[in-house]
Structure 1
Amino acid sequence: MENDVLRNIALSYSPMIDRNRAVVATRLTVSALRTGGPLQADQLLAAIAEVWPEGGTRVSLNVMSETLLNDLLRAKPLSNVMIEIPSFIACDPVNTDAILQLQGNTLLLHGRPPSMLPRELLPRFKYSIVDLADDRRRNEVAGQAEAAGVTRSVGFVQSGVRTTAEMEASFGRGAVAILGWPIEDVVSQSGGRAGQPDMAVLVELIRRVDDAEDVDKLDAVLKRDPTLAFQLLRYINSPAFGLSVEISSFRHAIMLLGYKRLKRWLALLLATASKDVNMRPVMFASVRRGLFMEQLVANSGDEEMRGEVFICGVFSLLDRLFNKPFDELLKTIPVPERVYQALVESAGPYHPYLELTKAVETETAPVINEYAETLLMSLLEVNRAVLGTLTMAAQLE
């Protein structure tokens, strides 16, 4: 039976990143865009359970529809589903019993309460979500709250963080995690470490694979960095790749996959090769961009197109990783013409797919809908691509 809720909502995702720069959960934002019949929480939970089964990794649900959220509070989410509850709903006595019944789930209080939170509810919230723009801690001198005798029994997760500098400042104020993609200033913060040996090896490998050089020459290049060889084989043997046999060597990979399919996994490695911990959100985004763009064309594109949009998504943040503009960067890294058009000229057939991908990361539901219509795609198709992407990404980690 078709999941009707996916026809009328826009799904978007972002990471929840702890102070070690590890992604500890995925935030899934659910925006109601079309009004047909009432949105069913059980259908939403069924779709989520396919990606995050019980006992698996954690997901935080940010439901933008008050009706759907009220229905969700009275459903039975799996224990690994965290629920964000807006403060105005938490403060309404009508919802107190329903919130108390969610014993197996982690609850997050979203926003500053407009009135006093019912006393019995306070222990139910493990964290509060505080937007950076509303964070009063920013104006406090270090230790000022403690000196004044102010105690905060609920830890906080910072939202609205867009730069590495903001991320580091949030952790300095005691945030247990941040929500979002802190990638806007990552180049200046990282120092543009494009000269790492593993990246140089990968760029050379991609050029040689593009030229279809002899297997022995390619193998000799890869042996200069054994860690990369291990990572490559780990990716190729992951469930996301769907192979029925285990690949045991780089030579075996070339023989079984061929040069074109191998190139996409080298592209993925290039986008995730940085050792800088502050680059992890960039690498996290790169993988999901490639997988999402490939999912978007899964039913309409041929194998060549699927491979090219994957590389387009994975490479779409290389300018940050290498601290170079795309027109300069892609002189050394060969890419198909349609990928070049999207990354350098913001044009061509792949550009709308890339813009839709960015909209899904920034939780801008109207823009998601706009680009879906431009690509003649339904919300159901886009939402399936989102959930498929997150499933495959989890298999790669």
Structure 2
Amino acid sequence: MHQASVLAPVHADKSYLFAYQPILDRNRTVVAQEFLYRRQRESGAQIDCPTEATATVIINAFAQYGTSEFLKRRKAFVNVGEDMLLSDMITLLPRSQVVIELLETSPISRELVDRCHKLKAMGFSFALDDFVGVDYYEPLLDVVDIVKVDLLQMAPEQLAATVRRLKRWPVQLLAEKVETVDDFERCKALGFDLFQGYHFARPAPVVGKRADPAKLAVLDLLGKINRDLDDQQLEKAFKENVGLYLNLLRLVNSAAFASQAKITSIRHAITILGRRQLTRWLQLLLFTLEDKGEHPSALFEAAARRGRFMELLMEGLAGFASCKKDQAYMAGVLSMADALLLEPMDKLVAKLCLADEVSLALTDRQGLLGKLLQLCCALETADFDAVDDLALQLRVAPDDVTKAQDQALAWVCQLGYAATG
């Protein structure tokens, strides 16, 4: 049977939930995404055919809702089982974008090793998932590009010894389950190049350390807008901070915002565009200041994605005014502000004079916005059972969750390139 006839019905299948987990480099910028997936509960959580499941991931991730655009400047890590690896279907993957993750459940046979060498010659890249030791994986270390090491599975002494042994091969080391700044710094010192975990999204207050004054100035401006101060006071605040003034003009004038006219002054921005859009730009500007890298920062991506995702889901809920969509967007973006500004969320909320619904979502994850925020977090951690439960409570169809998620990713792609371009 021709491969296209096999793939066509899989593309039409919408019975999978997806999670996209970022992979960071030593500068804490996102350089890749790992795709995780599971069949929706009503179809059964068990994936009966690994080949079909992987094909579903590939086709939906690269073709649906513009996600392929999101990956143009980064790699996509995709879990591939033995059946998929040995099938001709594997050659349909975009080899310049994909890193094939070899699962620990795949036995290391001569057939598997030979197949990897052939695919490597065709331009594919490989990563070893759940690395358990050099002796077991040695037959593959000449062909793989990346070795993923789970920090929770190795004591510090064992981790250091494993890194020393792996230096015999030209592989990049990826640390998984990096949960704290200390984990990140320790792995950097050992020679790890890539990192996966949630340390970047968690506040890590350091004694004597203060957030960037420019970011604090943005926070102050957001508070002033929420307190409904007049335009003259807002303009004065911008003019007193030249760096903030220039950054805002650059972001406002970017193509990603599709403004109808080029903004030439802060007064112009306030008058023509209105406070609603100005507030949104300020929220995102918090996460783009001093971002010099080729890729947008991990915090920027997470904050922007959460905001857009929650706004899209709110649009699909009947009976809510447009102000609720703005509140959903605000709650999503500001949910990462504590990690950015190194300050407890309750103190930040007090400074911003937010609506009660937004405050409750940010501090206690309560109310409708709180549930939407919980849904964001569940997707980020690939907690698909929680996604199912929360979607049911919110009366949101799982297909709508997937659609909003992918649309938010595509939007962040456009926005991020404008913010760092």
- Please give the TM-score of this superposition, normalised by the length of structure 2: 0.80
Contact map agreement 1:192 1:322 (CA 8 A) in 2: no
Q: Which amino acid aligns with 2:157?
A: N
Tell me the distance in 1 between the aligned counterparts of 2:304 and 2:242. 22
Query: How far 1:127 sits from its partner (Å)?
Result: 0.5
Contact map agreement 1:298 1:306 (CA 8 A) in 2: yes
- Flag structure 2 segments of 5+ consecutive residues without an equivalent: 1-7, 417-421
* Pairing 1:266–2:282 present: yes
Tell me the distance in 2 between the aligned counterparts of 1:362 and 1:306. 24
Partner of 1:51: 67
* Pairing 1:139–2:157 present: yes
Query: How far 1:355 sits from its partner (Å)?
Result: 0.4
Contact map agreement 2:148 2:176 (CA 8 A) in 1: yes
Q: Which amino acid aligns with 1:370?
A: D
Q: Report the 3-state secondary structure (helix = DSSP H, G, I; strand = E; otherwise coil) of the residue aligned with 1:394.
A: helix
Residue 26 to residue 247, structure 1, CA distance change in 2 (3 Å): farther
Q: Report the 3-state secondary structure (helix = DSSP H, G, I; strand = E; otherwise coil) of the residue aligned with 2:400.
A: helix
CA-to-aligned-CA distance 1:121-176 (integer Å, 9 cap, x gap) = 5443110111112246x215968975x89724422101111111111111111111
Tell me the distance in 2 between the aligned counterparts of 1:302 and 1:331. 25
Partner of 2:397: 378
Q: How does 1:1-397 map to 2 (within 5 A)?
A: 7-34=14-41, 35=43, 38-39=52-53, 41=55, 44-45=58-59, 47-49=61-63, 50-53=66-69, 56-63=72-79, 73-89=90-106, 91-93=108-110, 95-96=112-113, 99=116, 100-101=118-119, 103-112=122-131, 116-117=136-137, 119=139, 121-135=140-154, 138-140=156-158, 151-183=168-200, 186-189=203-206, 193-194=210-211, 196-273=212-289, 281-300=298-317, 302-397=321-416
Query: How far 1:78 sits from its partner (Å)?
Result: 4.7
User: In terms of mean alpha carbon deviation, does 63-72 or 258-267 score higher?
Assistant: 63-72
Residue 313 to residue 64, structure 1, CA distance change in 2 (3 Å): farther
Contact map agreement 1:164 1:185 (CA 8 A) in 2: no
Q: Which amino acid aligns with 1:127?
A: I
Contact map agreement 2:80 2:101 (CA 8 A) in 1: no
Contact map agreement 2:80 2:100 (CA 8 A) in 1: no
| Larger helix fraction of residues | 2
Residue 94 to residue 30, structure 1, CA distance change in 2 (3 Å): farther
Contact map agreement 1:6 1:383 (CA 8 A) in 2: no
Q: Which amino acid aligns with 2:128?
A: L
User: In terms of mean alpha carbon deviation, does 83-92 or 268-277 score higher?
Assistant: 268-277
Q: Report the 3-state secondary structure (helix = DSSP H, G, I; strand = E; otherwise coil) of the residue aligned with 1:291.
A: helix
Tell me the distance in 1 between the aligned counterparts of 2:315 and 2:336. 22
Q: Which amino acid aligns with 1:27?
A: E
Contact map agreement 2:10 2:55 (CA 8 A) in 1: no
User: In terms of mean alpha carbon deviation, does 53-62 or 361-370 score higher?
Assistant: 53-62
Contact map agreement 1:130 1:157 (CA 8 A) in 2: yes
Tell me the distance in 1 between the aligned counterparts of 2:414 and 2:147. 30
CA-to-aligned-CA distance 1:210-260 (integer Å, 9 cap, x gap) = 344443332221122222223223333344423344333322222232112
Tell me the distance in 2 between the aligned counterparts of 1:139 and 1:26. 29
Query: How far 1:375 sits from its partner (Å)?
Result: 1.5
Tell me the distance in 2 between the aligned counterparts of 1:64 and 1:356. 27
- Please give the TM-score of this superposition, normalised by the length of structure 1: 0.84
Contact map agreement 1:59 1:82 (CA 8 A) in 2: yes
Q: Report the 3-state secondary structure (helix = DSSP H, G, I; strand = E; otherwise coil) of the residue aligned with 1:56.
A: coil
Q: Which amino acid aligns with 2:280?
A: R
User: In terms of mean alpha carbon deviation, does 53-62 or 219-228 score higher?
Assistant: 53-62
| C-alpha RMSD of matched pairs (Å) | 3.6
- Flag structure 1 segments of 5+ consecutive residues without an equivalent: none
